[in-house]
Amino acid sequence: MTEKTALTPATHTTPPAKFSHGVKKGNILQVAGQVGFLPAVEGQAPTPAGPTLREQTLQTLANVQAILEEGGAGWDDAMMIRVYLTDVAHFAEMNEIYNAYFEEQGLKEAPAARTTVYVGLPKGLLIEIDALAVLS
């Protein structure tokens, strides 16, 4: 049986509860929901990348990518990406940001994706993204 490994990149704070930013078991890597916090600074509370959807989306994608890389994966290994927005009015803007981001990344094949509206994020946070990757 393959061992399960918790992943916390240096850019991330230690989770405040009993969970991991990512978990790898065998060739499967699950990235937990990430938000648009800037890289961790010792002794400081997590800080959002900014107030706009664009700033938070780009930082959230960078945070997901950091966990993928910590587990030996990249965007081309992502099979599923789930996006959670706090406002239905953000769908079109998020899709523009998402499409441009992955075009810049040179993604070979788009993963499956799902976007939903979720209102349970901490105050000021507009987006959360998680991903499931399978390593070759």
Residues 6+ apart with CB under 8 A from 64: 31, 34, 81, 129, 130, 131
35, 126, 113, 15: CA torsion to nearest 10: 20
The answer to whether 47 and 57 are in contact (CB under 8 A) is: no
Distance (Å, whole) CA 66 – CA 76: 14
Task: With a cut of 70, list the residues of the chain below it in pLDDT.
Answer: none
| Amino acid 122: pLDDT | 87
pLDDT score, position 120? 84
State both tokens at 81: 């990406």
Show the tokens assigned to 109: 């094949």
Predicted TM-score of the model (pTM): 0.94
Q: How does pLDDT run across 39-64, given as a tens digit for each residue?
A: 988 888 889 999 999 999 999 999 99
| CA pair distance 30, 11, nearest whole angstrom | 18
Query: What is the reported pLDDT for 83?
Result: 97
Size of the chain, expressed as the number of residues it contains:
136
